[in-house]
């Protein structure tokens, strides 16, 4: 794909989208051929007018930029560019700890105690630094991360451990402390005092680190159950002791666990530095040899194929030309996650719609197309905005619903939101986006199980609640498309593009609809719009565009786009076959 100039950066492709921001893979360039792969996080355009969200985004950037430690993701730059608020940050190749633990369980290659001690030691080192940080006047910032959890601990393929997502963190020395009664973070990794909605300090992070350590050592979740059960357990620190889950734990490791997991903060480690000292002492006494090198070997064992593909991606991206020419694409790249609906036409035209593209991408992860679809998992966790839980007595009806949504218990969340709306209608408007989100995610679950009738009903409810919910409208459009109700599909996809002009899948599907209904000029227009957004499946877009242009008699344009599709993805058999056939019809081409 062509790079896109964004100030001093080159945006290469979009790799994630969350409720608050979009994330792009980008390249930073300098004199004498210097170049570095980075990530650019940009606040969503329609949120740029929301002062509270913009302030939160800027606060995160300022705080994160202040943190310079080898075990904390690095922020290079932040500011505004053409009314876009952005953060430029370190780009990492690897997986978050949740994915590592899950893969270890599936592959039956457990995280050994020496790896666990090493990882926890690096987390403690990074947190001790952030907890101890002062401003330029020497005044302690008293930073608390508040969301130490497996998705926010990143392990690179070279064995480096990084803490990510300071979007929930606050410097308590400033006027930004969370008021009592409000919880931010992931429920199953909170300290008891955090789950109780009490005022917290850095020792809350230490309890969360203890949970990470517990889960790596035992191979089991510390808090399990339904949302409200988990909340009750966390508040009381009610969990199965590690020595019962795994009786052979060394006493030195057990001592560290027990002290980190003390329910009373006064009896807990008083600093991450204290915990780090015990971790290092245990590693030395037990003759463990955990290190960056040994952790890298472990990651190689778990992810050998992915590492090879991502190294290819890195080499490919860094070889990409700079965007200095006048013809460089100046448009902003947008949404870049999707799916291949393939509906074979006759030999002179193969058209793809959105539905099968994602399935196809999943099947072909080892192919050349993967160079644009590999996602840096760390950054996904950075993109999402924090979920807030109001725990004062005035919010009792909504509290369980919000917690169920945060825990991804969508069936339960929908039921609880419906009940809360009935019992407390006055406060429903403030919770409409969350209520709609629960409906959309539950609808997605039904849709994936081919239960399109129930999915459609829930999506219509979501749109009624929140007409601007583009996920609901896009999924509705897909359902209408599958039923060949093209008019309704066009209405939904069209609304999506008006709300978010960068939603590439909607343009792609509009192109498909107009193509199969014979309106080739409109199909060409929408495919060209999709192509300008440079999605990961650009070769598919160009193949469809070529088929439409061939129907219109634009043979040279068709050939050019097919050649580009094959160049982008030499494994695209449809494009290659179509190109071969087209050339056979015109030997002079």
pLDDT in tens, 255-288: 999 999 999 999 999 999 999 999 999 999 999 9
Tokens 């129930």 belong to 454
What is the average per-residue pLDDT within 498-504? 87
491: enclosing H helix or E strand: helix 486-499
Which residues, other chains included, contact 287 with Cβ-Cβ below 8 Å and sequence gap of 6+?
none
Q: Where are the alpha helices (DSSP H) in 108-199?
A: 113-132, 192-195
Domain with CATH 1.10.510.10 in the chain: 94-298
Q: What pLDDT score does 363 carry?
A: 41
Q: What pLDDT score does 2 carry?
A: 57
94: enclosing H helix or E strand: strand 94-96
Q: What is the 3-state secondary structure (H, E, C) of 14-62?
A: EEEECCCEEEEEEEEECHHHCEEEEEEEEECHHHCCCHHHHHHHHHHHH
Tokens 């370190």 belong to 90
Q: What pLDDT score does 132 carry?
A: 93
- 205 close to 131: Cβ distance less than 8 angstroms: yes
What is the average per-residue pLDDT within 496-504? 88
Domain with CATH 1.25.40.10 in the chain: 334-374+501-589, 386-498
Q: What pLDDT score does 397 carry?
A: 75
pLDDT tens by residue, 555-580: 899 999 999 999 988 888 888 888 88
pLDDT tens by residue, 181-202: 444 558 899 999 999 989 999 9
Q: What pLDDT score does 350 carry?
A: 44
Q: How many CB atoms lie within 10 A of CB 179?
A: 9
Counting every residue, how long is the chain?
589
Q: How far apart are CA 204 and CA 168, in angstroms?
A: 13
Q: How far apart are CA 542 and CA 546, in angstroms?
A: 6
* φ, ψ of residue 39 in degrees (nearest 5): -120, 140
409: enclosing H helix or E strand: none
Query: Would you say residue 381 has pLDDT above 70?
Result: no
Q: Which CATH class is domain 386-498?
A: mainly alpha
Domain with CATH 3.30.200.20 in the chain: 4-91
Q: How far apart are CA 106 and CA 73, in angstroms?
A: 28
Q: What pLDDT score does 177 carry?
A: 41
- 242 close to 249: Cβ distance less than 8 angstroms: yes
Query: Would you say residue 340 has pLDDT above 60?
Result: no
Q: What pLDDT score does 72 carry?
A: 93
Reduced to 3 states, what is the DSSP secondary structure of residue 571?
A: coil
Q: What pLDDT score does 282 carry?
A: 96
**In the CATH scheme, what architecture does the domain 4-91 have?**
2-Layer Sandwich (3.30)
Q: What is the DSSP string of 194-243?
A: HHTT----THHHHHHHHHHHHHHHHSS-SS-SSHHHHHHHHHHT----HH
Q: How far apart are CA 10 and CA 25, in angstroms?
A: 9
CATH superfamily of domain region 334-374+501-589 = Tetratricopeptide repeat domain (1.25.40.10)
Fold designation for 94-298:
Transferase(Phosphotransferase); domain 1 (1.10.510)
What is the average per-residue pLDDT within 371-383? 33
Q: What pLDDT score does 276 carry?
A: 97
As given in the structure block, the two tokens for residue 503 are 């939603």
Q: What share of the chain is helix, strand, coil (3-state, %, to 5)?
A: 55, 15, 30
């Amino acid at each position: 794909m062509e790079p896109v100039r964004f100030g001093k950066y080159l945006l290469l492709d979009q790799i994630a989208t969350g409720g608050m921001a979009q994330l792009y893979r980008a390249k930073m360039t300098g004199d004498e051929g210097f170049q570095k792969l980075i990530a650019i996080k940009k606040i969503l355009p329609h949120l740029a007018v929301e002062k509270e969200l913009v302030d939160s985004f800027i606060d995160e950037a300022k705080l994160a930029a202040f943190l310079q430690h080898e075990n904390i993701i690095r922020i290079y730059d932040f500011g505004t560019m053409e009314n876009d608020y952005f953060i430029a940050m370190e780009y990492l190749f690897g997986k978050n700890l949740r994915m590592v633990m899950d893969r270890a369980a599936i592959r039956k290659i457990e995280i050994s105690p020496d790896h666990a001690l090493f990882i926890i030691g690096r987390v403690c080192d990074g947190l001790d630094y952030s907890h101890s940080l002062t401003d330029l006047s020497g005044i302690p910032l008293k930073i608390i991360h508040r969301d130490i959890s497996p998705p926010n601990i990143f392990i690179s393929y070279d064995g480096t451990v990084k803490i990510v997502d300071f979007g929930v963190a606050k410097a308590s020395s400033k006027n930004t402390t969370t008021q009592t009664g409000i919880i931010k973070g992931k429920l199953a990794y909170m300290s008891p005092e955090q789950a109780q909605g009490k005022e917290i300090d850095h020792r809350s992070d230490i309890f969360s680190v203890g949970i990470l350590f517990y889960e790596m050592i035992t191979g089991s979740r510390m808090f399990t159950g339904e949302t409200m059960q988990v909340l009750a357990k966390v508040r009381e620190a009610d969990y199965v002791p590690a020595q019962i889950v795994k009786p052979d734990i060394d006493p030195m490791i057990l001592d560290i666990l027990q002290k980190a997991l003390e329910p009373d903060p006064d009896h807990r480690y008083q600093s991450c530095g204290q915990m780090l000292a015990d971790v290092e002492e245990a590693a030395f006494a037990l003759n463990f040899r955990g290190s960056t090198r040994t952790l890298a070997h472990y990651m190689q064992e778990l992810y050998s194929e992915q590492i090879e593909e991502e190294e290819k991606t890195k080499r490919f991206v860094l070889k990409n030309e700079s965007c200095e020419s006048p013809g460089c694409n100046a448009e902003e790249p947008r949404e870049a996650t999707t799916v291949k609906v393939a509906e074979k036409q006759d030999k002179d035209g193969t058209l793809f719609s959105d539905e099968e593209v994602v399935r196809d991408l999943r099947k072909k992860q080892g192919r050349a197309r993967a160079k644009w679809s590999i996602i840096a998992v760390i950054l996904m966790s950075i993109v999402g905005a924090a979920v807030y839980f109001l725990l004062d007595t005035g919010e009792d009806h909504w509290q369980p619903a919000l917690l169920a949504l945060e825990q991804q218990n969508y069936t339960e969340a929908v039921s609880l939101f419906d009940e809360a709306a009935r019992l407390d209608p006055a406060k429903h408007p403030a919770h409409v986006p969350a209520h709609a989100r629960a409906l959309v995610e539950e609808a997605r679950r039904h849709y994936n199980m081919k239960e399109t009738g129930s999915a459609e009903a829930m999506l219509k409810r979501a749109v009624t609640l929140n007409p601007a919910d583009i996920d609901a409208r896009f999924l509705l459009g897909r359902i209408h498309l599958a039923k060949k109700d093209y008019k309704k599909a066009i209405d939904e996809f069209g609304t999506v593009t008006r709300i978010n002009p960068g939603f590439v899948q909607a343009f792609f599907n509009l192109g498909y609809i107009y193509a199969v209904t014979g309106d080739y000029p409109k199909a060409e227009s929408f495919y060209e719009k999709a192509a300008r957004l440079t999605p990961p499946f650009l070769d598919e877009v160009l193949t469809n565009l070529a088929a439409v242009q061939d129907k219109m008699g634009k043979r040279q344009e068709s050939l050019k786009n097919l050649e580009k599709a094959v160049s982008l993805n030499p494994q695209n058999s449809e494009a290659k076959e179509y190109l071969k056939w087209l050339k056979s019809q015109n030997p002079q081409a």
